[in-house]
Copies of this chain bind each other. A is one copy, B any other.
């Protein structure tokens, strides 16, 4: 029995792509342990990370222009190169980029392109969660990325108002993407605390890959449940990699 080759489409941002590989490797190790297999280098599935420059996703979704600044073309190119490497399942390490999920999947029917919101919805439904707070980019709110997947799972979504959304964007763009994690944590924590104060203790979905790089450990959020969608996506990718059974040991 052989493992399946899997891919990670990253670069959006690059630190989040690197963190996704870490989460994927951890998820693989957990699956090996759960199967009673020895965790060793050769037991991990072949996987490829493509970190390519992609125009800003939220910017493209909020703009009425089309053309050079669209993220679709570089994502298609990277996916094509992952497919040529023999990759059979791909995870995108960017929530907002899922706005193009349908078009990317349609162009590469031979690959399975995982969907982050479907993985989060599946996990939360299994736990019986009925409400959750979503922290995300304006692009992700606008495309209602999580809304439908969570609604189908019977989970109501709580989102910040316009001022809160702007504050999150400040934390993502002026904070994490420029390396200022102190600013980022302050922005994210303020929005989170405000929503928790108004809606009670609900699970918080950190629905932009930049948020888990700064929010955990924020003062005032101790004991709150912070969900990293990348963890669920990484676990789903590890399941695909091992779908054909335990790895062949040479």
Contact = CB atoms under 8 A, between A and B. Distances in A.
Given A39-B179, A177-B40, A52 B56 contact: no
Given A22-B15, A28-B14, A250 B68 contact: yes
Interface in A29-60: 29, 33, 38-44, 46-56
Nearest to A26: B15
Given A19-B22, A69-B250, 8 more contacts: A13-B44, A14-B41, A39-B177, A39-B178, A39-B179, A44-B53, A46-B51, A68-B250
A50 B51 contact: no
B41 A12 contact: yes
B50 A48 contact: yes
A173 to B, nearest CB: 8
A17 interface: yes
B56 A42 contact: yes
B21 A49 contact: yes
A41 B177 contact: yes
B41 A54 contact: yes
Interface residues of A, number: 44
A174 B138 CA distance: 46
A158 B247 CA distance: 39
A237 B160 CA distance: 41
B12 A17 contact: no
B25 A18 contact: yes
A69 B250 CA distance: 7
A48 B17 CA distance: 11
A29 to B, nearest CB: 5
A151 interface: no
